[in-house]
C-alpha cells in the first residue's frame, strides 16, 4: 500500500522544504534571542513581561528612524545607518525598560499577578505611542549589504545567514555573561534568594532594573536584525510575544537551555509549516500545546524542574 | 440585607427610567454598555470574588456570540433557541476550560486561559469560510425578533439589554450573599484554610468559572442579536483585557463595580476617540510642530494608562475604595 498517498497533504518538493528550513532557521535564531530576553526576565525576576513584544516592535521602529535619518538626512551608506541602529535602538529600548521597572514594577514589589496587569498596560502605552509618532504604515529598512549565496537549488540572501550567525554569537555572549562573570553570579544569586542576596550587599534593585533592561534589549536586537527582512509596523509585537511565550513555556519557565532548544524547535517548525502549509493552523496547535504543557507538565517539555 | 436589595432595585429602576429621557446617541450607547456590563459582572464573579484572574474571557464571550450567530446564519434558527444555544456553548466551554485551567494557579492560570483564548481566536480566523474571520458578518434585521418583538427597534433593544443585565446583577448579588459566595471570597483570601475547613476549593472555583463563562456567553449572544453583528475582534485578546479593565476600574468584588467601570471606560474611550485625541493631534502639530501621524487614532493609549494607574494607585477600584473609606456595607 502506498502510505504517502494516505497523507492528508502533499509532500513538498525538496527544494521548497530546504527553503522552508532556511527560513525557519532565520526565524528560530531571532526568536531564540527574543525568547531568551523573556526567559531571563522571568527566571530572575519572576515577572511575566507581557510588553516584551512591544520592546521588540520598538527596536524595529527605532531601527527605521535611525537608518532613515542616516541615509535620508545625512546621506550615509546603508551599512552605517544599520550599524548605528544596531547599537542605538537596543540602548534606547533598554533605557525605557529600566524606566518601566523603576516607575511601575518596583512599586508593585514585583507581585507576579499585578505585574502582568501592569505590563498589559505598558503594552498598550508603547504600542499606541508608536502609532502616534511612527504612524500606521509598515516601512522597510534596507539591508546593510546585499549579496546572494548560491546554493544547489536556489540563490539565498547572504544577509539572512549573517542574522543567524549574529544571533548565535549574541546568545553565546549572554550565556558566558550569566555563567562566567561576576555580573552573572550576582544575577543568579538574586534569582536564587532575593533577600539573602540583599543581605550580602547585592544591590537587588539595580540588578532587577538591569535584568529587565537586558531582556528588553535582547528583543530589540532581534527586531533590528529582522527588520531588513520584515517591515517595521506598530502592531508587529504580537507574534513574537506569542511565540516567545510558547518557547519559554515549552522550554521550561526560567530554564535557559530549555529556552534555546524550544526556540530552535518552534522556530524551525514554524518556518517550515508557515512556508509550506497554513500558518494559522500551526499557531492553533502550538497555543493548545502550551496550554496543555502548563496544565499537565508545568516544568516544561525540555527543561529541568523550574526553580 | 434590606438596603442591599433596595440599592440594586434602585439601580435597575434608574436604568429603566432613563430610557425615555436619553437622546438617541446615549440610548444606543447605554444598551451596548448594559450588554458589556453583563460580561463584566460575569468576569467579576471569577476575578473580583474568587480571586482568579483570567486573561481569556473573550473566548466565552465569543462562544456565546458565535454559538448564537452561526446558528442563525447557517442553520436559520430563530433568535430564542439560538440565544440559548449560544449560552450553552459558553457554559460547556467554561466546564472544559475550567476543568483543565483550574489545575494551575496564579500566573499559570492567567497564561493557560490566555493560550486557550488565543487558540479559540485563531480557530475563528482559520474557519473564515464560515465565520467570515476579522470582517465578521451581520445578522439581517428581519430575523432579529423574538415572539413578535422586533429586537432591532431601539426601545425594545434597550429593555432587552436591561433585562439581561438585571438578571446577571441579581444572580451575582444573590450568589455572593449566599453561603457559596462566602466560600468563594474565602478561597480568594486563603485557599489552604478553606481546604482545611473541609471544603473542596476546586468545585467552588469551577462553579465560579462556569457561572462567569455563562454570563460572558449570554452577553456575547445578546450582543450578536441586539446589534446584529458577529466578528473575530470580539474573540481577540483585547476583549479579554476589557472586562479586566472595567472591573478593576469599578471595583473588583463589588456587585455594582462592573457597571460603573464599563460606563466610565466606554464614555472615556468614546470621548477620547471622538474629541480628545483628534484635538490633541491638531494641537501637537500646529502648536509644537511635532509630527504625530497616528495620534488621532491612538485612543487605546488611555486603556494602557488607566490599567497602569489602577494597578499602581487604586487596586481596589472606585467602589472598592468607597467601601473601604465610606460605606462599609456596600455589596
Q: How far is CA A216 from the centre of its chain?
A: 9
Residue A236 CA to residue A241 CA, distance in Å, equals: 9
The tens digit of pLDDT for each residue in A160-181 reads 888 888 888 998 898 888 888 9
Q: State the pLDDT at residue A161.
A: 83
From B111's Cα to the closest Cα of chain A, the distance in A is 8
Among B55, B104, B122, the residue with its CB nearest the CB of A284 is: B122
Is B163 buried (19+), middle (13-18) or exposed (0-12) by CB count in 10 A? middle
Question: What angle do helix axes A279-296 and B106-126 make, rounded to 10 degrees?
Answer: 160
Q: How far is CA B280 from CA A248, B140, B286, B293, B300, in A?
A: 40, 38, 10, 12, 14
* Res. A156 pLDDT band, cuts 50 70 90: low
The chain B residue lying nearest A279, using CA atoms, is: B126
- Per-residue cell: B245: 479593565
Counted domains in chain A? 1
Do residue A124 and residue B248 have CB atoms under 8 angstroms apart?
no
Asked if the structure places residue A9 within a domain, the reply is no
Asked if the structure places residue A283 within a domain, the reply is no
Instruction: Name the phi and psi angles at B138, rounded to 5.
Output: -100, 155
Q: Quote the ipTM score.
A: 0.85
Q: State the pLDDT at residue A242.
A: 86
The per-residue pLDDT of chain A, averaged, comes to 83
Contacts of A121 in chain B (CB under 8 A): 303-309, 311
Q: State the pLDDT at residue A276.
A: 66
Instruction: Name the phi and psi angles at A163, rounded to 5.
Output: -55, -45
* Res. B322 pLDDT band, cuts 50 70 90: confident
State the residue range of the domain holding A99: 39-237
- Per-residue cell: A213: 533592561
Residue B233 CA to residue A170 CA, distance in Å, equals: 38
* Res. A307 pLDDT band, cuts 50 70 90: very low
Do residue B301 and residue A128 have CB atoms under 8 angstroms apart?
yes
Least confident of A212-221, B136-145, B163-172, B176-185: B136-145
Helices (H), chain A: 3-6, 14-45, 52-68, 78-100, 112-134, 158-180, 182-192, 194-199, 204-226, 238-251, 256-276, 279-296
Asked if the structure places residue A299 within a domain, the reply is no
Q: Is A252 left (phi over 0), alpha (psi -120 to 50) or beta?
A: left
Asked if the structure places residue A306 within a domain, the reply is no
Do residue A104 and residue B297 have CB atoms under 8 angstroms apart?
no
Selected for mutation to probe chain B from A38, A51, A123, A131 (highest B CB count within 10 Å) is A131
Please state the rounded mean pLDDT for residues A207-231. 91
Please state the rounded mean pLDDT for residues A245-269. 79
Please state the rounded mean pLDDT for residues A235-262. 82
What are the boundaries of each domain within chain B? 2-236
Dmax over CA atoms of chain A, in Å, equals 71
Q: Are strands B145-146 and B149-150 parallel, antiparallel or unpaired?
A: antiparallel
DSSP for B24-63 reads: HHHHHHHHHHHHHHHHHHHHHIIIIIT----S-THHHHHH
Asked if the structure places residue A262 within a domain, the reply is no
* Res. A152 pLDDT band, cuts 50 70 90: low
The tens digit of pLDDT for each residue in B20-54 reads 888 888 888 999 999 999 999 999 999 999 999 99
Which residues have C-beta within 8 Å of that of residue A157, sequence separation ≥ 6?
A143, A148, A149
Classify residue A275 by its DSSP letter.
Answer: H
The chain A residue lying nearest B295, using CA atoms, is: A132
- Per-residue cell: B204: 467552588
The chain A residue lying nearest B99, using CA atoms, is: A295
Chain B: residues touching A (Cβ < 8 Å): 53, 55, 100-101, 103-104, 106-108, 110-112, 115-116, 118-119, 122-123, 125-126, 241, 244, 248, 290-295, 297-301, 303-309, 311-312, 315
Residue A286 CA to residue A183 CA, distance in Å, equals: 35
Question: Looking at the DSSP assignment, which residues form a beta bridge with residue A155?
Answer: A150
Residue B105 CA to residue B116 CA, distance in Å, equals: 15
Q: State the pLDDT at residue B262.
A: 94
The tens digit of pLDDT for each residue in A81-104 reads 888 888 999 999 999 999 999 999
- Averaging pLDDT over each range in A188-192, B10-14, B63-67, which range is the top one? B63-67
Q: State the pLDDT at residue A231.
A: 86
Is A199 buried (19+), middle (13-18) or exposed (0-12) by CB count in 10 A? exposed
Asked if the structure places residue A289 within a domain, the reply is no
Question: Does the pLDDT at position B125 exceed 70?
Answer: yes
Do residue B126 and residue A122 have CB atoms under 8 angstroms apart?
no
The chain A residue lying nearest B296, using CA atoms, is: A132
Q: Taking a C-beta distance cutoff of 8 angstroms, is the pair A266, A243 a contact? A: yes
Collapsing DSSP to helix, strand or coil, B230 comes out as: strand
The chain A residue lying nearest B120, using CA atoms, is: A284
Among A112, A131, A281, the residue with its CB nearest the CB of B294 is: A131
Counting one residue from chain A and one from chain B, the pairs whose CB atoms sit within 8 A come to 135
Residue B135 CA to residue B124 CA, distance in Å, equals: 11
Q: Which residue has the higher pLDDT, A157 or A195?
A: A195
- Averaging pLDDT over each range in A136-140, B71-75, B87-91, which range is the top one? B87-91
Which residues have C-beta within 8 Å of that of residue A10, sequence separation ≥ 6?
none
Asked if the structure places residue A26 within a domain, the reply is no
Asked if the structure places residue A174 within a domain, the reply is yes
pTM for the full predicted model: 0.87
Q: State the pLDDT at residue A306.
A: 42
Please state the rounded mean pLDDT for residues A39-48. 87
Among A112, A135, A278, the residue with its CB nearest the CB of B294 is: A135
Question: Does the pLDDT at position B275 exceed 50?
Answer: yes
* Res. A303 pLDDT band, cuts 50 70 90: low
Amino acid at each position: 500500500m502506498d502510505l504517502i498517498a494516505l497523507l492528508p497533504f502533499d509532500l513538498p518538493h525538496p527544494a521548497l522544504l530546504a527553503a522552508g528550513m532556511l527560513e525557519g532557521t532565520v526565524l528560530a535564531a531571532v526568536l531564540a534571542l527574543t525568547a531568551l530576553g523573556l526567559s531571563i526576565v522571568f527566571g530572575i525576576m519572576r515577572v511575566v513581561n507581557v510588553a516584551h513584544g512591544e520592546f521588540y516592535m520598538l527596536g524595529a521602529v527605532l531601527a527605521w528612524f535611525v537608518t532613515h535619518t542616516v541615509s535620508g538626512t545625512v546621506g550615509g551608506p546603508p551599512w552605517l545607518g544599520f550599524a548605528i541602529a544596531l547599537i542605538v535602538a537596543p540602548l534606547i529600548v533598554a533605557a525605557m525598560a529600566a524606566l518601566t521597572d523603576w516607575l511601575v514594577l518596583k512599586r508593585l514589589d514585583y507581585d507576579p499577578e499585578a505585574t502582568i496587569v501592569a505590563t498589559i498596560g505598558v503594552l498598550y502605552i508603547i504600542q499606541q505611542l508608536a502609532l502616534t509618532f511612527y504612524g500606521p504604515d509598515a516601512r522597510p529598512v534596507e539591508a546593510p549589504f546585499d549579496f546572494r549565496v548560491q546554493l544547489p537549488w536556489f540563490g539565498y540572501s547572504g544577509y539572512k545567514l549573517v542574522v543567524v550567525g549574529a544571533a548565535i554569537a549574541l546568545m553565546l555572549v549572554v550565556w558566558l555573561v550569566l555563567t562566567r562573570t561576576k555580573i552573572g553570579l550576582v544575577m543568579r544569586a538574586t534569582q536564587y534568594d532575593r533577600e539573602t542576596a540583599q543581605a550580602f550587599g547585592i544591590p537587588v534593585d539595580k540588578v532587577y532594573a538591569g535584568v529587565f533592561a537586558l531582556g528588553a534589549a535582547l528583543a530589540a536586537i532581534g527586531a533590528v536584525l529582522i527588520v531588513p527582512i520584515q517591515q517595521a509596523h506598530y502592531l508587529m509585537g504580537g507574534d513574537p510575544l506569542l511565540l516567545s511565550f510558547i518557547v519559554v513555556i515549552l522550554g521550561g519557565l526560567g530554564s535557559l537551555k530549555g529556552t534555546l532548544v524550544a526556540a530552535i524547535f518552534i522556530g524551525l517548525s514554524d518556518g517550515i509549516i508557515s512556508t509550506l502549509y497554513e500558518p494559522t493552523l500551526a499557531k492553533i496547535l502550538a497555543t493548545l500545546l502550551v496550554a496543555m504543557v502548563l496544565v499537565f507538565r508545568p516544568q516544561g517539555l525540555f527543561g529541568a524542574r523550574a526553580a | 440585607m434590606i438596603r442591599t436589595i433596595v440599592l440594586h432595585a434602585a439601580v435597575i429602576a434608574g436604568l429603566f427610567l432613563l430610557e425615555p429621557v436619553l437622546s438617541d446617541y446615549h440610548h444606543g450607547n447605554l444598551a451596548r454598555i448594559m450588554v458589556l456590563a453583563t460580561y463584566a459582572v460575569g468576569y467579576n464573579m471569577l476575578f473580583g470574588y474568587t480571586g482568579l484572574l483570567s486573561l481569556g474571557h473573550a473566548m466565552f464571550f465569543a462562544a456565546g456570540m458565535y454559538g448564537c450567530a452561526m446558528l442563525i446564519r447557517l442553520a436559520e434558527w430563530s433568535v430564542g433557541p439560538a440565544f440559548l444555544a449560544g449560552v450553552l456553548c459558553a457554559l460547556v466551554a467554561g466546564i472544559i476550560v475550567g476543568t483543565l485551567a483550574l489545575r494551575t494557579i496564579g500566573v499559570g492560570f492567567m497564561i493557560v486561559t490566555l493560550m486557550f483564548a488565543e487558540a479559540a481566536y485563531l480557530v475563528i480566523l482559520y474557519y473564515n469560510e464560515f465565520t467570515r474571520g476579522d470582517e465578521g458578518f451581520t445578522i439581517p434585521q428581519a430575523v432579529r425578533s423574538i415572539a413578535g418583538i422586533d429586537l432591532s427597534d431601539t426601545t425594545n433593544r434597550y429593555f432587552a439589554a436591561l433585562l439581561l443585565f438585571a438578571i446577571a446583577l441579581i444572580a451575582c448579588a444573590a450568589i455572593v450573599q449566599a453561603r457559596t459566595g462566602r466560600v468563594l471570597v474565602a478561597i480568594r483570601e486563603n485557599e489552604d484554610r478553606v481546604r482545611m475547613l473541609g471544603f473542596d476549593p476546586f468545585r467552588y472555583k469551577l462553579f465560579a468559572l462556569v457561572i462567569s463563562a455563562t454570563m460572558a456567553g449570554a452577553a456575547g449572544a445578546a450582543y450578536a442579536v441586539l446589534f446584529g453583528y458577529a466578528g473575530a475582534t470580539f474573540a481577540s485578546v483585547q476583549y479579554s483585557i476589557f472586562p479586566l479593565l472595567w472591573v478593576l476600574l469599578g471595583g473588583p468584588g463589588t456587585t455594582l463595580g462592573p457597571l460603573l467601570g464599563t460606563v466610565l471606560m466606554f464614555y472615556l474611550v468614546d470621548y477620547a476617540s471622538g474629541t480628545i485625541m483628534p484635538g490633541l493631534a491638531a494641537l501637537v502639530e500646529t502648536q509644537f510642530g511635532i509630527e504625530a501621524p497616528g495620534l488621532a487614532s491612538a485612543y487605546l493609549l488611555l486603556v494602557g494608562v488607566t490599567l497602569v494607574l489602577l494597578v499602581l494607585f487604586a487596586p481596589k477600584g472606585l467602589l472598592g475604595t468607597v467601601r473601604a473609606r465610606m460605606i462599609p456595607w456596600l455589596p
